[in-house]
Amino acid sequence: MLRVTVAGLLAHRLRLILTAVTIAIGVALVAGTFILTDSAAGALGGAAAAAAPAQVVVQPAGADGGKSTAAPTSLAAGLVTQIRAVRGVASAQGLVAADKVTLIGKNGREITHRRAANELLSYPDIPALAAQYTIQSGRPPRRPGEALLDAATARSLGYRVGDRIGVATTTTGPGPGSGTGTGTTTLTVVGITGFGGADSPADAQLASFDAPTVVVVQAGTAQRLAGLPGRFTEIDALAAPGVSAATLSRRLARLLPPGAEAITGGQAAALQASDAASHLASLRTDLLAFCLVALLVAAFVIANTFAILVAQRTREYALLRVIGASRGQVLRSALTEAAILGLAASGAGVGLGILAAAGLRGLLTVLGGTLPPDGLTFAPRTAVVALATGTVVTVASALRPARLAARVEPIRALREALPTALRRSRGRLVAGIIGITAAVALLVTGSVAQSGRSAVFVGAGALLAIAALVTAAPLMAGPVAHLIAAPTAYLRGPSRGRSRGVAVAVALARDNSAANPRRTAATAAILTIGLAAAAAVSIVATSARASARDAIDGTSHADLYVLGNVGPGLARAIAAQPGVRTTMRIDSPLVEVAGARTRVDGIDPGRAALLMNYGVRTGARTALRGNAVFVSTLQADRHGWHIGSPVTINFGQGAPRTLLVAGTFADKRFTGDDYLMPITTLFRDMPDQLDSSDVLIRAAPGTRPRAIRSAIGTLIRGYPGNSLLTAAQYQSAQAADLGDLGHILGVLTALVALTVLIAALGIANGLALSVTERAREFGVMRALGLTRRQLGAMIRAESVIMCLLGALPGAAIGIGAGAALAAALTRGQTGVATIGVSPVQLAAALAATCLAALLAGIVPARHAGRVPALRAIE
Amino acid sequence: MESHAPAAAAAQPGVCAPAARAQTAVKIYGHGQTLVRALDGVTLELPAAAFTAIMGPSGSGKSTLLHCLAALDSLTSGQVFLGETELSALDDKRLTLLRRERIGFIFQSFNLLPALTAIDNITLPLRIRGQDPDQAWIDQLVRIVGLGGRLRHTPAELSGGEQQRVAAVRALAARPEIVYADEPTGNLDRRTSEDLLKFLRRAVTDFGQTVVMVTHDPVAAAFADQVIFLADGRVAGELAAPSRARVLDALKELEA
């Protein structure tokens, strides 16, 4: 039987090529995802190992490595001397790490990255600690005013040793409002460094999918530039020979001030690695979710191909039965064919996976992100998983066609093969209705679930809806085909010539589609999934934007925004501009509220009335002064707070403070934060921040925002690191942050395009196969007088009918699933579920899909046109 | 209401211009060693409003001749005419339009479209023309072949005889100048063959339809007005007013 199977495969190899390609693409994506994430993990592991000698790290509690969005807390310099005096300490060194540093390139323009924040680090004097810097050219910084620059930036901006780089600095006085000025310190690049073999720190890249610019300077310079004179953000101690890091960390813990902790280098590396690993894991999950969609599309293509092949080979199977093959043998033969095809295509797919990994990395780069470039890791697991996935999907998809093959009666060897009537249509209808109902229930559940869990509900609902539609689609093929073809009926009127010829072709296409509902529906289903994915991604993205816009429109009265590091001086200068009615600074540092890290907004309550409406629910707006804090109703409900409740806030400096709830405001909106407090109270408890001070500006009555925009634009040019945004620009900037979608949305969009490509291949495959299958039918039509052009038009019309039959339900499912997901997501972000629909994007997706289907129909239509009329007789 | 008979109804066999004719028609397949002269200079006339049978042994070229006459295949040299139209001068598009407007077909293997119902198959040529069917004419044809209750069935649900009667009605539905039938009884049993042949005979006698039929069955040939014999790609004889016995005799002579 195996010989028959192999012969069968070889005989149909041309017809199976497109199917094999779709399997290979799906498998390549799976393999590529594993290869990419394994490679990134490998690079990360290498970096962590290099950065972790036998040492103890003393850092402010909870500062997880000091480089992420940690509250900028610090340790006094005196602690270093104390640590050095401890028995078992061989040496100790204070280090400074600051992020969100404003850097000015040699062309005088600010160096920014889409998602990564620039870092300022101090260069350790102890060689063991400096080991993580792999200097590629030049030397380490030895004097103030010298700096090492990361190799990635050096490459992208063309930096060489001897070039200059500026760092924007703020000299901060002891209290708010006192003597703060802004300036730029110019450093000379004396060396270009890598990080454990990579050009950029691996962990920073994984956290943001972007490579930050890193400037490494002497400790003293770092303290001055970071505004931390006499303080460090981390103290590293090396153990003397014979003393373990664990022992040393216990000894050091005893002399540490409150709020500081001592952990071993191993623990610090592990913390960093686990942080990065969770970023990697979520990237892998996102990518695999889309591989699943691609494989699902491939599954439909496979099922469709095998169904058509089985129909074409009915006589062959019947003959096998006549000469004594059992049903089981026919079934096994058909499944073996699928397994061989699946295995071969998956093998090719694994090979393509290496390309796919490079492609995915390239895609992330094009979209402004990077991953550590450290070769490509090909784990045996990748091959096993990819091969197994491809083969199992292929065999499972071929199961139904194989069973149909096994059911072929021996008598069919002698009789013309004719399409079987659609049976159990009532069963199909009932199953379809039940499936759709359940799917809607799942989507609704998903839309009100917490955003983490909603994806599971929505995913299950969307899959169920697709399954239900595929079940019921053959019943809809006829009516839908008539509906779609209806608009061309008017062409049959008194007009003559070409348009009438087209009308005839369309009418024939309509009847063909309606008469072969199963073939039509099976091919259409391929597109359903593709469009569902496209629509869902579009809805989620549009909703995120709409949600941000609503939140901002509803709560902010500002006409212009200056974002960056606005100090009081600049704030006063802006307020003094003619045409400005009022301005207000907002500072949003990351602190710890009731044990959870979050941002609080420091505002000026007196000016807030004119600039923002945060929807006070309880308490009076005037109560926001002194030690008062306003909390969102969301947090108030969660913690059971009401007016007068004490709230503990750890500002990271000194002892935590207790503030009193003075009121609640409607959900978290506008800035996206849950807490409001007077900015004066905020600055009393933590030094004025360098990084996150923004200013809201409202134009005077009668003054158009555009009129003051250029003046303020000119003003802030003297203050690097600030940018001026209009209300619309601010909205889109906020939207990009919403739901942390920014980094992954581009990838999703690209994968959606790939899915549509696979779907188009599937449609082309289905049409090509059916043209072969229908050659005799076309011959008859040609003999009866259908012109080549009309025959081609008929095939193209069939592909459009098929496309709309597949795409419209797909769009409906995608809109439903996307809306459910968006509702959960936006409610989690702003407290208000917002669903945004972009008709343009949806129409574009639909048009692109139909165009793909139309293009897919070109070659088969041409082939059909070449069928000679004599084919009817031979 | 106009008459259901084609315009040529009044004409008598052989009296006026022939419905179709071939002039030294040659058709060669392959080349070199595998060269086959399927038609080797056939010249014949097919009278209008008559029922002509073309007979001959396997390989005599009778099917090739029919395909070339019916604008389904082209000659290597020589000419075939439909009425006054010379077919070799036409491109694919014009040949297609010619088949559409002027020719009807009945195939040995019925060749109904499996997806369409009987009535949809019957009206298909008219729809391809973009023309509304003449309902009264079709009703009349359907009544004659006795398909009344079966029009909503698909080919899969019809017997072979019923399928071929659908095909015959389809060929006549658009009132073509000429109907070509290629072994129309080849897949039918004796009784259903007879029903079909009676219908074709009646189409010629009552409605003046021109019918040309390729067959190897002397019984079928006996329904025709005349029989043209082909052998080795040439015309080998003619027989007017054939009977089964005379056709058999002629065939014996041919093979001798």
Residues of A in contact with B27 (CB under 8 A): none
Q: Which residue of B has its CA nearest to A513?
A: B115
Percent of chain A with pLDDT over 90: 5
Question: Of A2-11, A471-480, A722-731, B85-94, which one has max mean pLDDT?
Answer: B85-94
Q: Which of A416, A423, A784 to mutate to test the interface with B (most CBs of B within 10 A)?
A: A784
Contacts of A503 (CB under 8 A, 6+ apart): A488, A489, A491, A492, B130
Q: Per-residue confidence at B227, pLDDT binned at 50, 70, 90?
A: very high
pLDDT at B246 over 50: yes
Tell me what pLDDT residue A389 has: 92
- What is the pairing mode between strands A628-632 and A596-603? unpaired
Q: Per-residue confidence at A741, pLDDT binned at 50, 70, 90?
A: low
Tell me what pLDDT residue A669 has: 60
Residue with the two structure tokens 């028959």: A4
Tell me what pLDDT residue A368 has: 47
Q: Report the distance separating Cα A516 and Cα B51, nearest Å.
A: 39
Nearest residue to A772 (alpha-carbon basis) of A167, A312, A265, A228:
A312
Question: Of A208-217, A286-295, A563-572, B160-169, which one has max mean pLDDT?
Answer: B160-169
Looking at the partner chain, which of A507, A787, A870 has a beta carbon nearest the beta carbon of B96? Answer: A787
Distance from CA of A869 to the nearest CA of B (A): 6
CATH class entry, domain B47-72+89-255: alpha beta
Instruction: Note which residues in 8-67 of chain B have CB less than 8 A from chain A.
Output: 63, 67
CB-based contact B115 A786, cutoff 8 Å: no
The mean pLDDT of B193-206, rounded to a whole number, is: 93
Percent of chain A with pLDDT over 70: 81
Encoding tokens for residue A872?
A: 């009817």
CB-based contact B116 A515, cutoff 8 Å: yes
Q: Does B243 touch chain A (CB under 8 A)?
A: no
- Count the neighbouring beta carbons within 10 Å of the beta carbon of residue A268: 23
Cα B151 → chain centroid: 23
Q: Does B92 touch chain A (CB under 8 A)?
A: yes
The mean pLDDT of A179-188, rounded to a whole number, is: 66
CB-based contact B128 A504, cutoff 8 Å: yes
The mean pLDDT of A739-759, rounded to a whole number, is: 67
Tell me what pLDDT residue A346 has: 93
Lowest mean per-residue pLDDT among A73-82, A190-199, A414-423: A414-423
Distance from CA of B124 to the nearest CA of A (A): 8
The mean pLDDT of B131-145, rounded to a whole number, is: 89
- Count the neighbouring beta carbons within 10 Å of the beta carbon of residue A213: 25
| Exposed/middle/buried for residue A655 (C-beta within 10 Å: 0-12, 13-18, 19+) | exposed
Q: Does A781 touch chain B (CB under 8 A)?
A: yes
For A615, the enclosing helix (H) or strand (E) is none
Check residues A745 and A250 and name the one with the higher pLDDT: A250
CB-based contact A418 B155, cutoff 8 Å: yes
Encoding tokens for residue A576?
A: 């003094």
Q: Per-residue confidence at B149, pLDDT binned at 50, 70, 90?
A: confident
Check residues B11 and A155 and name the one with the higher pLDDT: A155
Contact in structure between B226 and B238 (CB atoms under 8 Å): yes
CB-based contact B72 A419, cutoff 8 Å: no
Q: Report the distance separating Cα A339 and Cα A334, nearest Å.
A: 9
Looking at the partner chain, which of B92, B107, B124 has a beta carbon nearest the beta carbon of A873? Answer: B107
Tell me what pLDDT residue A71 has: 41
Tell me what pLDDT residue A147 has: 92
Nearest residue to A856 (alpha-carbon basis) of A778, A782, A756:
A756
Residues of A in contact with B156 (CB under 8 A): 418-419, 421
Q: Which residue of A has its CA nearest to B94?
A: A787
Q: Which residue of B has its CA nearest to A417?
A: B156
Tell me what pLDDT residue B210 has: 95
Distance from CA of B113 to the nearest CA of A (A): 6
The mean pLDDT of A833-848, rounded to a whole number, is: 83
Tell me what pLDDT residue A670 has: 63
Distance from CA of A872 to the nearest CA of B (A): 7
Residue with the two structure tokens 């005889």: B161
Report the mean per-residue pLDDT for chain B. 87
Contact in structure between A763 and B103 (CB atoms under 8 Å): no
Lowest mean per-residue pLDDT among A113-122, A579-588, B111-120: A113-122
Q: Does A869 touch chain B (CB under 8 A)?
A: yes
CB-based contact B128 A790, cutoff 8 Å: yes
Tell me what pLDDT residue A791 has: 87
Question: Of A653-667, B100-114, B160-174, which one has max mean pLDDT?
Answer: B160-174
Lowest mean per-residue pLDDT among A113-117, A809-813, B27-31: A113-117
Tell me what pLDDT residue A743 has: 54
Lowest mean per-residue pLDDT among A185-194, A579-588, A667-676, B182-191: A667-676
Lowest mean per-residue pLDDT among A230-244, A361-375, A511-525: A361-375
pLDDT digits (tens, 9 = 90+) for A274-309: 766 776 777 777 778 778 878 888 888 888 888 888
Lowest mean per-residue pLDDT among A410-414, B170-174, B231-235: A410-414
pLDDT at A177 over 50: no
The mean pLDDT of B209-227, rounded to a whole number, is: 94
Contacts of A460 (CB under 8 A, 6+ apart): A442
Nearest residue to A137 (alpha-carbon basis) of A125, A118, A154:
A154
Tell me what pLDDT residue A1 has: 62
Tell me what pLDDT residue A172 has: 43
Tell me what pLDDT residue A555 has: 76
Tell me the CA distances in angstroms from A301 to A164, A428, A761, A831, one per residue in order.
58, 21, 9, 42
pLDDT at A654 over 70: no
pLDDT at A489 over 70: no
Report the mean per-residue pLDDT for chain A. 78
Q: What's the complex ipTM?
A: 0.82
pLDDT at A372 over 60: no
pLDDT at A745 over 60: yes
CB-based contact B96 A492, cutoff 8 Å: no
Tell me what pLDDT residue A70 has: 38
For residue A263, which phi and psi values (nearest 5 degrees)? -130, 155
Distance from CA of B145 to the nearest CA of A (A): 21
Looking at the partner chain, which of A492, A516, A788 has a beta carbon nearest the beta carbon of B92? Answer: A788
pLDDT digits (tens, 9 = 90+) for A412-471: 665 554 445 555 567 788 888 898 899 888 888 888 877 667 778 888 888 888 888 888
Distance from CA of A312 to the nearest CA of B (A): 14
Tell me what pLDDT residue B51 has: 95
For residue B43, which phi and psi values (nearest 5 degrees)? -125, 120
pLDDT at A182 over 70: no
Any idea where the domains of chain B sit in the sequence?
47-72+89-255
pLDDT digits (tens, 9 = 90+) for A379-415: 888 889 999 999 999 999 999 889 888 888 776 665 5
Looking at the partner chain, which of B97, B111, B114 has a beta carbon nearest the beta carbon of A785? Answer: B97
Q: Report the distance separating Cα A640 and Cα A420, nearest Å.
A: 66
Nearest residue to A426 (alpha-carbon basis) of A414, A434, A436, A438:
A434
Q: Does B129 touch chain A (CB under 8 A)?
A: yes
Residues of B in contact with A873 (CB under 8 A): 63, 67, 72, 107-109, 111, 182
pLDDT digits (tens, 9 = 90+) for A500-531: 677 778 888 888 888 778 778 878 888 888 88
Tell me what pLDDT residue A53 has: 56
Lowest mean per-residue pLDDT among A38-47, A247-256, A461-470, A753-762: A38-47
Contact in structure between A795 and A767 (CB atoms under 8 Å): yes
Q: Does B91 touch chain A (CB under 8 A)?
A: no
pLDDT digits (tens, 9 = 90+) for A682-713: 877 666 544 457 888 888 888 887 888 888 88
Tell me what pLDDT residue A179 has: 35
Distance from CA of B62 to the nearest CA of A (A): 14
Residues of B in contact with A869 (CB under 8 A): 72, 96, 99
- If DSSP codes are grouped into helix, strand and coil, which group holds residue A323? coil
Q: Per-residue confidence at A371, pLDDT binned at 50, 70, 90?
A: low
Q: Report the distance separating Cα B159 and Cα B141, nearest Å.
A: 18
CB-based contact A504 B114, cutoff 8 Å: no
Any idea where the domains of chain A sit in the sequence?
53-268, 421-554+732-874, 566-718
Contacts of A318 (CB under 8 A, 6+ apart): A408, A409, A410, A411, A412, A413, A414
Q: Which residue of B has its CA nearest to A787?
A: B96
Q: Report the distance separating Cα A392 and Cα A229, nearest Å.
A: 63
Check residues B197 and A564 and name the one with the higher pLDDT: B197
Instruction: Note which residues in 495-534 of chain A have CB less than 8 A from chain B.
Output: 500-501, 503-504, 507-508, 511-512, 515-516
Q: Does A782 touch chain B (CB under 8 A)?
A: yes
Contact in structure between A462 and A821 (CB atoms under 8 Å): no
Q: Does A873 touch chain B (CB under 8 A)?
A: yes
The mean pLDDT of A59-82, rounded to a whole number, is: 63
pLDDT at A52 over 80: no
CB-based contact B115 A785, cutoff 8 Å: no
The mean pLDDT of A750-754, rounded to a whole number, is: 74
Distance from CA of B105 to the nearest CA of A (A): 8
Tell me what pLDDT residue A786 has: 87
- Count the neighbouring beta carbons within 10 Å of the beta carbon of residue A415: 12
Q: Does A786 touch chain B (CB under 8 A)?
A: yes
Q: Report the distance separating Cα A618 and Cα B64, nearest Å.
A: 96
Going by the DSSP 8-state scheme, the letter that residue A565 receives in this structure is B
Residue with the two structure tokens 């940018």: A723
DSSP codes joined into one string, A452-519: HHHHHHHHHHHHHHHHHHHHHHHHHHHHHHHHHHGGGGGGGSS--THHHHHHHHHHHHHHHHHHSHHH
Contacts of A23 (CB under 8 A, 6+ apart): A298, A302, A341, A342, A345, A346, A349, A390, A393, A394
Nearest residue to A374 (alpha-carbon basis) of A527, A201, A190:
A201
Q: Report the distance separating Cα A400 and Cα A335, nearest Å.
A: 10
Contact in structure between A112 and A564 (CB atoms under 8 Å): no
Tell me what pLDDT residue A78 has: 84
Encoding tokens for residue A468?
A: 């239900």
The mean pLDDT of A219-231, rounded to a whole number, is: 84
Tell me what pLDDT residue A502 has: 75
